[in-house]
Amino acid sequence: MRVSIFGTGYVGLVTGTCLAEVGNHVLCIDIDQAKVDGLRRGVIPIYEPGLEPMVKANTAAGRLSFSTEAAEALGHADIVFIAVGTPPDEDGSADLRHVLAVARSIGEHMQRPTLVVDKSTVPVGTADRVRAVIAGELQRRGVDIDFDVVSNPEFLKEGDAVKDCMRPDRIIIGAESEDAVERMRGLYAPFNRNHERLVVMDTRSAELTKYAANAMLATKISFMNEIANIAERVGADVEMVRQGIGSDPRIGYSFIYPGAGYGGSCFPKDVQALERTARQIGYEARLLSAVEAVNDDQKRHLFALISRHFDGQLRGRCIALWGLAFKPNTDDMREAPSRTLLEQLWAAGARVQVFDPEAMDEARRLFGERADLRYCESSGQALEGADALVVVTEWKAFWSPDFDALAAALGGKVVFDGRNIYDPDQVESAGLAYYGIGRGRSV
């Protein structure tokens, strides 16, 4: 099949590449000329395990190409995806500017019957708005071309995106016509062989499904952080509690890790957007507000522990930070807890030495050069002359450090484990003070 995809970010590039991998001819469109130029030369703009060789192989095979021209996209394909960003608006609702701009381009350049597939995360009712914008453009041009709009929200996880895309847990199709469903079924057939993964519904339910999924996951995290905060105050170890409750299959072990708060480009904005959607229709989503509030506090929790340990005297202190990305296996720092912590440390007058296996370029882009920030080339270099170590992202490479070497390097002899990846006894037996999240002894 011939497919075009508007938006060549985490979702668009991965989706386009995976669709090309199974034999489709895919044209990826982006308004970012530098990104498109880079991709044409084989430069992948994001870090995503397994993506680079797939992009290169499919480009070389002539199944994957890149352009900035919307007209080309509509000439190339009769299935056109919208996979552009939907960042938060000033009031937290989803900003549909990019989605609606693409809808206008589609209407402006449509040449033959086209199936428009919305993969961006968008509020309920957006498929109708996209349909109206396209129809308006066609009317303005005085042409009558058949088109349909399908909602097909994406569930890939950054860091596992290629795997999730090639082997999705489920494929949500929100459609208003049988014909659209059948065409989507055909497109996804190579990913749907082993067992039925397609869940077909109306567009509004599909749009809400995506928000409900992210809100549920964010709720699990905030719930566990709340339990961690209680554990810390009552002298219990949340890691024991986690294992105790996870063993109940109704609860399960996944996504109940306490930590430094959730970040990334999805959970914060999607929880907010769903809350705003609810408010717009006169419903106060109290649980979602609490999920957000708990998370905002949690992102500040590591700083509170650090500040308390040093009796509020952080001016002139040097803090080593391991991990900047919002989670391991990505270079994405959008809404990352590390950013909140850095701002707080700087405001308190501390200097910071940072290392992340993949996010150093992104950090440089965000913060530039500043006297109170040293970009390090290794986790070891970040410790040089530091008073304390803070683990913010649980990259595998940070899991088994030499604690004796850590104790020798750190002037303040203290480790703040923002992801509970260390055994407190092991850290303490090396002569270091240990702080985790929700591990009773921290108070």
Two structure tokens written together for 375: 């970009």
Which residues face 28 on adjacent strands?
5, 66
Residue 17 or 121 having the CB closest to ligand NAD: 121
Backbone CA torsion sign across 36, 41, 44, 49: positive
Q: How many CB atoms lie within 10 A of CB 288?
A: 24
Q: What are phi and psi of 66, to 5 degrees?
A: -135, 145
Q: Interface residues for ligand NAD in 91-150 (CB under 6 A)?
A: 98, 101-102, 120-121
Residue 98 or 109 having the CB closest to ligand NAD: 98
Residue 74 or 227 having the CB closest to ligand NAD: 74
Name which position in 10, 47, 262, 395 contacts ligand NAD (CB under 6 A): 10
At closest approach, how far in Å is the CB of 30 from ligand NAD?
A: 4
Residue 159 or 424 having the CB closest to ligand NAD: 159
Q: Is 9 in the site for ligand NAD (CB under 6 A)?
A: yes
Would you call 266 a catalytic residue per the annotation?
yes
Q: Which stretch binds ligand NAD (CB under 6 A): 80-88, 184-192, 248-256, 312-320?
A: 80-88
DSSP 190: G
At closest approach, how far in Å is the CB of 158 from ligand NAD?
A: 4
Q: How many CB atoms lie within 10 A of CB 38?
A: 15
Helix (H) or strand (E) holding 6: strand 2-6
How many residues belong to the site for ligand NAD (CB under 6 A)?
A: 26
Name which position in 84, 127, 181, 184 contacts ligand NAD (CB under 6 A): 84
Distances 346 to 246, 310, 316, 393 between C-alpha atoms, Å: 38, 15, 10, 19
What gap in Å lies between CA 199 and CA 312, rounded to an integer? 53
**Residue 146 contacts residue 184 (beta carbons within 8 Å):** no
Q: Is 8 in the site for ligand NAD (CB under 6 A)?
A: yes
Q: Interface residues for ligand NAD in 144-173 (CB under 6 A)?
A: 154, 156, 158
From 18, 266, 318, 376, the catalytic residue: 266
Residue 121 or 272 having the CB closest to ligand NAD: 121
Name which position in 26, 27, 83, 321 contacts ligand NAD (CB under 6 A): 83
Q: Which residue is nearest to ligand NAD (CB)?
A: 9
Binding mask 23-52 for ligand NAD (x = CB under 6 A): ------xxxx--x-----------------
Which residues face 389 on adjacent strands?
320, 415
Distances 171 to 153, 205, 210, 334 between C-alpha atoms, Å: 8, 13, 11, 26
Residue with tokens 């930590």, as numbered in its chain: 259
What gap in Å lies between CA 191 and CA 170, rounded to an integer? 10
Q: Interface residues for ligand NAD in 208-267 (CB under 6 A)?
A: 265-266
Name which position in 16, 85, 123, 323 contacts ligand NAD (CB under 6 A): 85
**Residue 337 contacts residue 418 (beta carbons within 8 Å):** yes
Interface with ligand NAD (CB under 6 A): 6-12, 29-32, 35, 83-86, 98, 101-102, 120-121, 154, 156, 158, 265-266
Active-site residues, by number, are 266
